[in-house]
Amino acid sequence: MKRNRIVERFARLKNERSKGFVVYIGAGDPDLEATRQLALAFDRIGVDVFELGIPFSDPLADGLVNQLAAQRGLESGTTPVKVLQTVQAIRKDSQIPIVLYVYFNLLHRHGFARFIQDAAAAGVDGLLVLDLPPEESENYEALMREAGLCVIYLVAPTTPDDRIELIVKRASGFIYYVSREGVTGMQTKVAANIADMTAKIRKQTDLPVAVGFGISNPDQARIVAASAEAIVVGSAIVNQIAQHGKQPDLVQRVTNFVQSLARSVKEQPS
């Protein structure tokens, strides 16, 4: 199996006793050139994993902020093929680990096995297929292993213990713990049971646990990073892109915001 950037990054973070910082944005919002520039800027300021949402017309797991980002991505002409081309362009200048956040329908349309091969060839490191449960994904997991890609799965606060055990056995790279029920979106405070849930997940796996859904400012990032190997911030950053998308200094403005979050994560003792 080829070396995987996600696996290598988390191994390095563990070695350095440092917390990981995962950033999500919608691909093609406001356009794919901005996506490429943001990826490079995020790499420079210490983002550990870049999660890129492929825009889809029915993003059921997403709240309003990310739904609107998907809509803007579709309006800018973003397609799965163009996202892969953008990843290739990013790879000319950066080795930041990249996860594609995607709905199953898009893989199905492209050709399931072909999409996985094309993603690996473009320089993608993992896929998070939002609506593909592990119970139905044996063929998918085999193809992903063959391509050297990480299979990222979600665990929710409502996931029963026996199902957590099933999910973490089938996952690779890291476990994405969704810290609250419902859809993506910014929250005024973090969920109270994060430490208990991450401890419960850790009993079942050695994979790092990344906590996301709702983290929207440096203080929240600091609190959550205390009980996880990594944190994921999406909607708060997507919201910055929505606010500044038409500004010529979009990349700088968004990067400044992301840097404030990165600092609060990296200040954490591991």
DSSP 22-43: EEEEETTSS-HHHHHHHHHHHH
Residue 247 binned pLDDT confidence (cut-offs 50, 70, 90): very high
Q: Which residue is catalytic, options 31, 51, 125, 229?
A: 51
Q: What is the reported pLDDT for 52? A: 98
Q: What is the reported pLDDT for 56? A: 95
User: What share of the chain in percent tops pLDDT 70?
Assistant: 94
Domain ranges of the chain: 5-266
Q: Which residue is catalytic, options 62, 75, 93, 196?
A: 62
Q: How far is it, in rounded angstroms, from Cα 207 to Cα 229?
A: 9
pTM: predicted TM-score of the whole model, two decimal places? 0.95
Calculate mean pLDDT across residues 58-64: 83
51 is catalytic: yes
Q: Which of 125-129, 132-136, 151-155, 168-172 has the lowest mean pLDDT?
A: 132-136
Q: How far is it, in rounded angstroms, from Cα 238 to Cα 230?
A: 19
Q: What is the reported pLDDT for 267? A: 80
The domain made up of 5-266 has a fold known as TIM Barrel (3.20.20)
135 is catalytic: no
